[in-house]
Structure 1
Amino acid sequence: MEQFVAVAAAHFVALLIPGVDFFLIVRATTTGGWKNATGACAGIAAANGIFIAAAFSGMSAISQPALLAVIQLAGGVFLIVMGVAFFRSPAAVSLDGGPRPAGATWAKNFGLGLASGLLNPKNALFYVSLAAAVSTAAPAALLGYGLWMFTVVLVWDLFVALALGTRRALDRMRRILPWLTKLAGGVLVLFGGAMLVTLAVRVAG
Protein backbone atom coordinates (compact mmCIF):
# COMPACT_ATOMS: atom_id res chain seq x y z
CA MET A 1 0.00 0.00 0.00
CA GLU A 2 2.83 2.38 0.86
CA GLN A 3 4.42 1.70 -2.53
CA PHE A 4 1.18 2.51 -4.35
CA VAL A 5 0.75 5.77 -2.44
CA ALA A 6 4.34 6.80 -3.19
CA VAL A 7 4.07 6.02 -6.92
CA ALA A 8 0.61 7.59 -7.23
CA ALA A 9 1.81 10.73 -5.44
CA ALA A 10 4.89 11.07 -7.65
CA HIS A 11 2.76 10.64 -10.75
CA PHE A 12 0.13 13.18 -9.68
CA VAL A 13 2.68 15.79 -8.59
CA ALA A 14 4.28 15.51 -12.03
CA LEU A 15 0.88 16.23 -13.60
CA LEU A 16 0.55 19.45 -11.60
CA ILE A 17 3.63 20.96 -13.25
CA PRO A 18 2.49 22.99 -16.30
CA GLY A 19 4.06 21.79 -19.51
CA VAL A 20 3.38 21.48 -23.21
CA ASP A 21 0.18 19.51 -22.63
CA PHE A 22 -1.17 22.24 -20.35
CA PHE A 23 -0.60 24.96 -22.94
CA LEU A 24 -2.28 22.80 -25.57
CA ILE A 25 -5.38 22.29 -23.39
CA VAL A 26 -5.53 26.01 -22.55
CA ARG A 27 -5.44 27.02 -26.19
CA ALA A 28 -7.91 24.32 -27.27
CA THR A 29 -10.36 25.37 -24.56
CA THR A 30 -10.16 29.12 -25.10
CA THR A 31 -10.39 28.95 -28.89
CA GLY A 32 -12.68 25.97 -29.40
CA GLY A 33 -14.60 25.48 -26.16
CA TRP A 34 -14.23 22.81 -23.51
CA LYS A 35 -16.05 20.15 -25.54
CA ASN A 36 -13.55 20.35 -28.38
CA ALA A 37 -10.74 20.57 -25.83
CA THR A 38 -11.70 17.14 -24.52
CA GLY A 39 -10.23 15.87 -27.79
CA ALA A 40 -6.81 17.16 -26.72
CA CYS A 41 -7.35 15.62 -23.27
CA ALA A 42 -8.20 12.25 -24.81
CA GLY A 43 -5.20 12.41 -27.15
CA ILE A 44 -2.82 13.25 -24.31
CA ALA A 45 -4.25 10.45 -22.17
CA ALA A 46 -3.97 8.00 -25.08
CA ALA A 47 -0.30 8.88 -25.58
CA ASN A 48 0.36 8.42 -21.88
CA GLY A 49 -1.54 5.13 -22.01
CA ILE A 50 0.71 3.88 -24.80
CA PHE A 51 3.84 4.71 -22.82
CA ILE A 52 2.35 3.23 -19.65
CA ALA A 53 1.45 -0.02 -21.41
CA ALA A 54 4.89 -0.24 -23.02
CA ALA A 55 6.79 0.49 -19.80
CA PHE A 56 4.74 -1.74 -17.51
CA SER A 57 4.70 -4.65 -19.94
CA GLY A 58 8.48 -4.75 -19.91
CA MET A 59 9.18 -3.14 -23.29
CA SER A 60 12.56 -1.66 -22.37
CA ALA A 61 13.04 -0.59 -26.00
CA ILE A 62 11.32 2.71 -25.28
CA SER A 63 14.22 3.66 -23.01
CA GLN A 64 16.89 2.85 -25.59
CA PRO A 65 19.08 5.88 -26.50
CA ALA A 66 18.52 5.53 -30.26
CA LEU A 67 14.72 5.53 -29.96
CA LEU A 68 14.75 8.37 -27.44
CA ALA A 69 16.95 10.38 -29.80
CA VAL A 70 14.42 9.91 -32.62
CA ILE A 71 11.58 10.92 -30.30
CA GLN A 72 13.56 13.93 -29.10
CA LEU A 73 14.31 15.06 -32.67
CA ALA A 74 10.71 14.69 -33.82
CA GLY A 75 9.42 16.22 -30.59
CA GLY A 76 11.70 19.25 -30.86
CA VAL A 77 10.59 19.94 -34.42
CA PHE A 78 6.93 19.39 -33.48
CA LEU A 79 7.12 21.86 -30.57
CA ILE A 80 8.77 24.52 -32.72
CA VAL A 81 6.14 24.12 -35.44
CA MET A 82 3.34 24.23 -32.88
CA GLY A 83 4.88 27.29 -31.18
CA VAL A 84 5.08 29.14 -34.49
CA ALA A 85 1.46 28.20 -35.16
CA PHE A 86 0.51 29.71 -31.79
CA PHE A 87 2.25 32.94 -32.79
CA ARG A 88 0.49 33.13 -36.14
CA SER A 89 -3.01 32.07 -35.08
CA PRO A 90 -5.70 34.60 -34.15
CA ALA A 91 -6.32 34.66 -30.41
CA ALA A 92 -10.04 35.01 -29.78
CA VAL A 93 -12.52 33.65 -27.28
CA SER A 94 -16.17 33.19 -28.22
CA LEU A 95 -18.64 33.69 -25.37
CA ASP A 96 -21.82 33.83 -27.40
CA GLY A 97 -21.72 30.44 -29.10
CA GLY A 98 -20.65 32.01 -32.37
CA PRO A 99 -18.47 30.34 -34.96
CA ARG A 100 -15.20 28.89 -33.77
CA PRO A 101 -11.90 29.36 -35.54
CA ALA A 102 -11.45 27.08 -38.54
CA GLY A 103 -9.91 23.76 -37.68
CA ALA A 104 -10.86 23.86 -33.97
CA THR A 105 -12.36 20.36 -34.11
CA TRP A 106 -12.38 17.50 -31.64
CA ALA A 107 -10.47 15.24 -34.03
CA LYS A 108 -7.76 17.81 -34.70
CA ASN A 109 -7.32 18.46 -31.00
CA PHE A 110 -7.11 14.70 -30.39
CA GLY A 111 -4.36 14.42 -32.98
CA LEU A 112 -2.43 17.33 -31.48
CA GLY A 113 -2.77 15.87 -27.98
CA LEU A 114 -1.64 12.44 -29.15
CA ALA A 115 1.36 13.88 -31.01
CA SER A 116 2.26 16.12 -28.08
CA GLY A 117 2.33 13.17 -25.72
CA LEU A 118 4.07 10.66 -27.99
CA LEU A 119 6.78 13.11 -29.06
CA ASN A 120 7.76 13.99 -25.50
CA PRO A 121 10.74 11.81 -24.50
CA LYS A 122 10.24 12.81 -20.87
CA ASN A 123 7.02 10.77 -20.86
CA ALA A 124 8.88 7.64 -21.93
CA LEU A 125 11.63 8.12 -19.34
CA PHE A 126 9.15 9.01 -16.60
CA TYR A 127 7.03 5.88 -17.03
CA VAL A 128 10.05 3.62 -17.47
CA SER A 129 11.35 4.99 -14.15
CA LEU A 130 8.03 4.37 -12.41
CA ALA A 131 7.79 0.88 -13.90
CA ALA A 132 11.28 0.09 -12.64
CA ALA A 133 10.30 1.21 -9.15
CA VAL A 134 7.45 -1.33 -9.02
CA SER A 135 9.00 -4.05 -11.19
CA THR A 136 8.69 -6.65 -8.43
CA ALA A 137 4.93 -6.19 -8.08
CA ALA A 138 2.50 -8.88 -9.23
CA PRO A 139 1.03 -8.61 -12.77
CA ALA A 140 -2.38 -7.70 -11.36
CA ALA A 141 -0.81 -4.90 -9.32
CA LEU A 142 1.06 -3.59 -12.39
CA LEU A 143 -2.22 -3.54 -14.30
CA GLY A 144 -3.77 -1.58 -11.45
CA TYR A 145 -0.91 0.93 -11.51
CA GLY A 146 -1.29 1.41 -15.26
CA LEU A 147 -5.06 1.86 -15.16
CA TRP A 148 -4.76 4.28 -12.25
CA MET A 149 -2.16 6.45 -14.04
CA PHE A 150 -4.12 6.53 -17.29
CA THR A 151 -7.32 7.47 -15.46
CA VAL A 152 -5.63 10.20 -13.41
CA VAL A 153 -4.10 11.77 -16.54
CA LEU A 154 -7.46 11.80 -18.34
CA VAL A 155 -9.47 13.07 -15.34
CA TRP A 156 -6.94 15.81 -14.51
CA ASP A 157 -6.79 17.08 -18.09
CA LEU A 158 -10.60 17.05 -18.36
CA PHE A 159 -10.77 18.99 -15.08
CA VAL A 160 -8.41 21.62 -16.48
CA ALA A 161 -10.48 21.92 -19.66
CA LEU A 162 -13.76 22.18 -17.74
CA ALA A 163 -12.32 24.70 -15.27
CA LEU A 164 -11.09 26.90 -18.10
CA GLY A 165 -14.29 26.42 -20.08
CA THR A 166 -16.63 28.21 -17.67
CA ARG A 167 -18.05 31.53 -18.82
CA ARG A 168 -16.26 33.40 -16.01
CA ALA A 169 -12.92 31.80 -16.88
CA LEU A 170 -13.40 32.48 -20.58
CA ASP A 171 -14.28 36.10 -19.85
CA ARG A 172 -11.03 36.49 -17.95
CA MET A 173 -9.07 34.60 -20.57
CA ARG A 174 -10.43 36.87 -23.31
CA ARG A 175 -8.47 39.77 -21.82
CA ILE A 176 -5.18 37.94 -21.52
CA LEU A 177 -5.43 35.42 -24.36
CA PRO A 178 -3.52 37.49 -26.99
CA TRP A 179 -0.35 37.78 -24.91
CA LEU A 180 -0.86 34.36 -23.31
CA THR A 181 -0.94 32.77 -26.76
CA LYS A 182 2.26 34.55 -27.75
CA LEU A 183 3.86 33.55 -24.44
CA ALA A 184 2.83 29.92 -24.91
CA GLY A 185 4.18 30.00 -28.46
CA GLY A 186 7.49 31.34 -27.21
CA VAL A 187 7.70 28.72 -24.48
CA LEU A 188 6.98 25.92 -26.96
CA VAL A 189 9.63 27.19 -29.36
CA LEU A 190 12.13 27.40 -26.49
CA PHE A 191 11.21 23.89 -25.32
CA GLY A 192 11.62 22.54 -28.83
CA GLY A 193 14.87 24.40 -29.42
CA ALA A 194 16.29 23.21 -26.11
CA MET A 195 15.42 19.61 -27.00
CA LEU A 196 17.24 19.90 -30.33
CA VAL A 197 20.27 21.61 -28.79
CA THR A 198 20.49 18.97 -26.05
CA LEU A 199 20.26 16.23 -28.65
CA ALA A 200 22.94 17.87 -30.82
CA VAL A 201 25.31 18.23 -27.85
CA ARG A 202 24.79 14.61 -26.85
CA VAL A 203 25.39 13.34 -30.38
CA ALA A 204 28.46 15.55 -30.82
CA GLY A 205 29.87 14.43 -27.49
Structure 2
Amino acid sequence: MEQFLIVAATHFLALLSPGPDFFLVTRSAMSAGWRVATGACLGIALANSAFILAAFAGLSALQPHCTLFIVIQLAGCAYLLYIGSLFIRHAGSSSLHADDNRQPPTLQATWRQGLGMGLLSGLLNPKNALFYVSLASMVSQASLGWKLFYGLWMFSVVLAWDVLVAMAIGNLRIRRQFSRYLPWLERVAGAVLIALALAVIIHLLWR
Protein backbone atom coordinates (compact mmCIF):
# COMPACT_ATOMS: atom_id res chain seq x y z
CA MET A 1 0.00 0.00 0.00
CA GLU A 2 2.88 2.39 0.80
CA GLN A 3 4.40 1.81 -2.63
CA PHE A 4 1.02 2.44 -4.28
CA LEU A 5 0.61 5.75 -2.46
CA ILE A 6 4.09 6.86 -3.56
CA VAL A 7 3.46 5.86 -7.18
CA ALA A 8 -0.02 7.42 -7.22
CA ALA A 9 1.22 10.68 -5.69
CA THR A 10 4.20 10.90 -8.06
CA HIS A 11 2.00 10.25 -11.07
CA PHE A 12 -0.65 12.77 -10.04
CA LEU A 13 1.92 15.50 -9.33
CA ALA A 14 3.31 14.94 -12.82
CA LEU A 15 -0.20 15.43 -14.22
CA LEU A 16 -0.42 18.82 -12.49
CA SER A 17 2.60 20.04 -14.44
CA PRO A 18 1.34 21.78 -17.63
CA GLY A 19 2.67 20.21 -20.79
CA PRO A 20 1.68 19.59 -24.42
CA ASP A 21 -1.21 17.30 -23.49
CA PHE A 22 -2.64 19.82 -21.03
CA PHE A 23 -2.46 22.64 -23.56
CA LEU A 24 -4.12 20.50 -26.22
CA VAL A 25 -7.02 19.65 -23.91
CA THR A 26 -7.50 23.24 -22.79
CA ARG A 27 -7.25 24.60 -26.34
CA SER A 28 -9.75 22.03 -27.62
CA ALA A 29 -12.17 22.68 -24.75
CA MET A 30 -11.95 26.44 -25.17
CA SER A 31 -12.44 26.42 -28.93
CA ALA A 32 -14.97 23.59 -29.27
CA GLY A 33 -16.43 22.67 -25.89
CA TRP A 34 -15.72 19.91 -23.42
CA ARG A 35 -17.63 17.16 -25.27
CA VAL A 36 -15.34 17.41 -28.30
CA ALA A 37 -12.30 17.71 -26.02
CA THR A 38 -13.07 14.32 -24.44
CA GLY A 39 -11.84 12.75 -27.67
CA ALA A 40 -8.43 14.32 -27.09
CA CYS A 41 -8.60 13.19 -23.44
CA LEU A 42 -9.14 9.56 -24.45
CA GLY A 43 -6.37 9.73 -27.06
CA ILE A 44 -3.92 11.09 -24.47
CA ALA A 45 -4.88 8.39 -21.97
CA LEU A 46 -4.41 5.65 -24.59
CA ALA A 47 -0.99 7.04 -25.53
CA ASN A 48 0.00 7.07 -21.86
CA SER A 49 -1.14 3.45 -21.63
CA ALA A 50 1.16 2.50 -24.50
CA PHE A 51 4.15 4.02 -22.69
CA ILE A 52 3.11 2.43 -19.40
CA LEU A 53 2.88 -1.00 -21.03
CA ALA A 54 6.22 -0.59 -22.79
CA ALA A 55 7.99 0.73 -19.68
CA PHE A 56 6.59 -1.93 -17.37
CA ALA A 57 7.50 -4.62 -19.89
CA GLY A 58 11.08 -3.34 -19.80
CA LEU A 59 11.41 -2.76 -23.54
CA SER A 60 14.98 -1.77 -24.44
CA ALA A 61 13.66 0.67 -27.06
CA LEU A 62 12.61 3.00 -24.24
CA GLN A 63 16.08 3.26 -22.72
CA PRO A 64 17.23 6.91 -22.84
CA HIS A 65 20.38 6.28 -24.92
CA CYS A 66 18.80 4.03 -27.56
CA THR A 67 18.55 5.34 -31.12
CA LEU A 68 14.80 4.70 -31.34
CA PHE A 69 14.20 6.64 -28.14
CA ILE A 70 16.16 9.60 -29.52
CA VAL A 71 14.18 9.44 -32.77
CA ILE A 72 10.93 9.47 -30.76
CA GLN A 73 12.15 12.51 -28.84
CA LEU A 74 13.08 14.37 -32.04
CA ALA A 75 9.72 13.53 -33.61
CA GLY A 76 8.07 14.80 -30.47
CA CYS A 77 10.03 18.03 -30.68
CA ALA A 78 8.95 18.52 -34.28
CA TYR A 79 5.35 17.98 -33.22
CA LEU A 80 5.67 20.48 -30.34
CA LEU A 81 7.15 23.07 -32.70
CA TYR A 82 4.25 22.51 -35.10
CA ILE A 83 1.54 22.70 -32.41
CA GLY A 84 3.22 25.68 -30.74
CA SER A 85 3.38 27.62 -34.01
CA LEU A 86 -0.24 26.65 -34.72
CA PHE A 87 -1.37 28.04 -31.38
CA ILE A 88 0.48 31.32 -31.97
CA ARG A 89 -0.64 31.67 -35.60
CA HIS A 90 -4.33 31.12 -34.81
CA ALA A 91 -4.38 32.95 -31.46
CA GLY A 92 -7.73 34.68 -31.03
CA SER A 93 -9.28 33.14 -34.15
CA SER A 94 -11.79 31.03 -32.20
CA SER A 95 -14.94 32.48 -30.73
CA LEU A 96 -15.68 31.47 -27.15
CA HIS A 97 -19.26 32.64 -27.50
CA ALA A 98 -20.26 29.86 -29.86
CA ASP A 99 -22.24 26.97 -28.47
CA ASP A 100 -20.65 23.55 -28.06
CA ASN A 101 -22.11 22.19 -31.31
CA ARG A 102 -20.43 24.73 -33.59
CA GLN A 103 -17.37 23.68 -35.61
CA PRO A 104 -14.44 26.11 -35.16
CA PRO A 105 -12.36 27.09 -38.19
CA THR A 106 -9.02 25.86 -36.74
CA LEU A 107 -7.97 22.63 -35.02
CA GLN A 108 -11.07 21.01 -36.49
CA ALA A 109 -13.28 19.94 -33.67
CA THR A 110 -14.78 16.56 -34.33
CA TRP A 111 -14.52 13.97 -31.61
CA ARG A 112 -12.55 11.56 -33.81
CA GLN A 113 -10.09 14.24 -34.85
CA GLY A 114 -9.69 15.14 -31.19
CA LEU A 115 -8.97 11.48 -30.45
CA GLY A 116 -6.29 11.41 -33.15
CA MET A 117 -4.73 14.66 -31.98
CA GLY A 118 -4.70 13.43 -28.37
CA LEU A 119 -3.12 10.11 -29.35
CA LEU A 120 -0.47 11.85 -31.43
CA SER A 121 0.23 14.41 -28.71
CA GLY A 122 0.62 11.71 -26.05
CA LEU A 123 2.85 9.48 -28.20
CA LEU A 124 5.09 12.34 -29.30
CA ASN A 125 5.29 14.05 -25.91
CA PRO A 126 9.02 13.85 -25.03
CA LYS A 127 8.23 13.82 -21.31
CA ASN A 128 5.97 10.77 -21.31
CA ALA A 129 8.42 8.05 -22.26
CA LEU A 130 11.12 9.27 -19.88
CA PHE A 131 8.66 9.73 -17.01
CA TYR A 132 7.15 6.26 -17.29
CA VAL A 133 10.55 4.60 -17.62
CA SER A 134 11.55 6.33 -14.38
CA LEU A 135 8.29 5.34 -12.72
CA ALA A 136 8.67 1.73 -13.84
CA SER A 137 12.00 1.53 -12.03
CA MET A 138 10.13 2.25 -8.78
CA VAL A 139 7.91 -0.83 -9.20
CA SER A 140 10.37 -3.17 -10.91
CA GLN A 141 10.06 -5.70 -8.07
CA ALA A 142 6.25 -5.61 -7.98
CA SER A 143 4.22 -8.62 -9.08
CA LEU A 144 2.48 -8.76 -12.46
CA GLY A 145 -0.87 -8.23 -10.75
CA TRP A 146 0.30 -5.05 -9.07
CA LYS A 147 1.82 -3.76 -12.32
CA LEU A 148 -1.50 -4.32 -14.08
CA PHE A 149 -3.27 -2.49 -11.28
CA TYR A 150 -0.80 0.42 -11.50
CA GLY A 151 -1.31 0.60 -15.26
CA LEU A 152 -5.11 0.64 -15.01
CA TRP A 153 -4.96 3.17 -12.19
CA MET A 154 -2.73 5.57 -14.13
CA PHE A 155 -4.83 5.24 -17.30
CA SER A 156 -7.97 6.02 -15.31
CA VAL A 157 -6.39 8.97 -13.50
CA VAL A 158 -5.03 10.50 -16.72
CA LEU A 159 -8.43 10.16 -18.41
CA ALA A 160 -10.41 11.44 -15.42
CA TRP A 161 -8.10 14.42 -14.84
CA ASP A 162 -8.11 15.50 -18.49
CA VAL A 163 -11.90 15.18 -18.70
CA LEU A 164 -12.28 17.28 -15.54
CA VAL A 165 -9.99 19.93 -17.03
CA ALA A 166 -11.97 19.86 -20.28
CA MET A 167 -15.30 20.15 -18.46
CA ALA A 168 -14.08 23.06 -16.33
CA ILE A 169 -12.50 25.03 -19.16
CA GLY A 170 -15.12 24.02 -21.73
CA ASN A 171 -17.95 25.43 -19.62
CA LEU A 172 -19.62 28.17 -21.67
CA ARG A 173 -19.71 30.68 -18.81
CA ILE A 174 -16.03 30.14 -18.05
CA ARG A 175 -15.18 30.42 -21.73
CA ARG A 176 -17.01 33.75 -21.92
CA GLN A 177 -15.16 35.05 -18.88
CA PHE A 178 -11.83 34.13 -20.46
CA SER A 179 -12.73 35.42 -23.93
CA ARG A 180 -10.56 38.54 -23.67
CA TYR A 181 -7.58 36.54 -22.40
CA LEU A 182 -7.75 33.63 -24.87
CA PRO A 183 -5.44 35.13 -27.55
CA TRP A 184 -2.72 35.76 -24.95
CA LEU A 185 -3.21 32.35 -23.35
CA GLU A 186 -2.82 30.72 -26.76
CA ARG A 187 0.33 32.72 -27.49
CA VAL A 188 1.83 31.83 -24.11
CA ALA A 189 0.93 28.15 -24.56
CA GLY A 190 2.50 28.16 -28.03
CA ALA A 191 5.66 29.80 -26.72
CA VAL A 192 5.93 27.27 -23.86
CA LEU A 193 5.59 24.33 -26.27
CA ILE A 194 8.22 25.76 -28.62
CA ALA A 195 10.56 26.45 -25.68
CA LEU A 196 10.11 22.88 -24.42
CA ALA A 197 10.95 21.47 -27.86
CA LEU A 198 14.06 23.64 -28.18
CA ALA A 199 15.19 22.67 -24.66
CA VAL A 200 14.95 18.96 -25.51
CA ILE A 201 16.83 19.48 -28.79
CA ILE A 202 19.61 21.42 -27.04
CA HIS A 203 19.86 18.70 -24.39
CA LEU A 204 20.19 16.00 -27.07
CA LEU A 205 22.90 17.97 -28.90
CA TRP A 206 24.97 18.76 -25.83
CA ARG A 207 24.77 15.55 -23.80
TM-score w.r.t. structure 2 length?
0.92
User: What does residue 97 of structure 2 align with?
Assistant: 94
Q: Which of the two has greater helix per residue? A: 1
The CA RMSD over aligned residues, in Å, is: 1.5
Instruction: Say yes or no: does 1:59 pair with 2:59.
Output: yes
**Structure 1 stretches lacking a partner, 5+ long:** none
User: What does residue 10 of structure 2 align with?
Assistant: 10
Take 2:26 and 2:163, find their aligned partners in 1: how far apart are those partners? 11
> Tell me, what secondary structure is at the counterpart of 2:181?
helix
| Residue from 146, 158, 173 that aligns with 1:141 | 146
Query: Aligned pair count?
Result: 202
> Deviation at 1:151?
0.6
Deviates more, 1:102-111 or 1:89-98: 89-98
Take 1:68 and 1:178, find their aligned partners in 2: how far apart are those partners? 35
Check whether the contact 1:63–1:124 (CA below 8 A) recurs between aligned residues.
Answer: no
User: What does residue 23 of structure 2 align with?
Assistant: 23
Take 2:11 and 2:101, find their aligned partners in 1: how far apart are those partners? 38
Change beyond 3 A, Cα 1:130–1:96: closer
TM-score w.r.t. structure 1 length?
0.92
Which contiguous aligned blocks of 4+ residues in structure 1 show a shift greater than 6 angstroms? none
Matches within 5 A, 1:1-205: 1-65=1-65, 66-89=67-90, 90-97=93-100, 99-102=102-105, 103-202=108-207
Change beyond 3 A, Cα 1:96–1:127: closer
Take 1:161 and 1:99, find their aligned partners in 2: how far apart are those partners? 17
Q: Deviations over 1:159-194 (max 9, x none)?
A: 100111222211122121111111111111111222
Change beyond 3 A, Cα 1:158–1:95: same
Partner letter of residue 47 of structure 1? A
Check whether the contact 2:44–2:122 (CA below 8 A) recurs between aligned residues.
Answer: yes
Deviates more, 1:131-140 or 1:63-72: 63-72
